[in-house]
Amino acid sequence: MAAKSDFWNSRYSVSEYVYGELPNTYLKEQLETLPVGSILFVGEGEGRNSVHAAKLGWKVTAYDLSVEGKEKQRILHTNTMWRLIIMWASCMSYIIKKSNLMW
């Protein structure tokens, strides 16, 4: 696990947003067709997609194993002032409660 987090911490340690601040085009189009609810972003990186979802009114939980990515998510989120829960975790340590699933 350390090697993966080291890679992403290094990648996200630059001042600019590696993938930009705008959401992924496909994700943006899909979110606009769905009813607003709760959404989980796994491996969210710098936060561009989770912040966009929060702007649309989604209750967002986002996590990533990169501390650098989490910090950039926090900064991007602070600049937008929308509700967003950001966590640092690996997918091995995150527990999804059955009551939170939509199906």
- Please give the single-letter amino acid code of residue 19: Y
State pLDDT tens for residues 26-76: 999 999 999 999 888 888 999 999 989 988 988 888 888 888 988 898 888
Order of all β-strands in the sheet with 59-64? 38-42, 59-64, 84-88
Q: Provide the pLDDT for residue 26.
A: 97
Residue spans of the domains in the chain: they are: 2-13+25-91
HSE value, Cβ hemisphere, 13 Å, CA-based, for 55: 16
Range name among 12-16, 22-26, 49-53, 88-92 with the lowest pLDDT average = 88-92
CATH assignment of 2-13+25-91?
3.40.50.150
Q: Is the pLDDT of residue 5 over 80?
A: yes
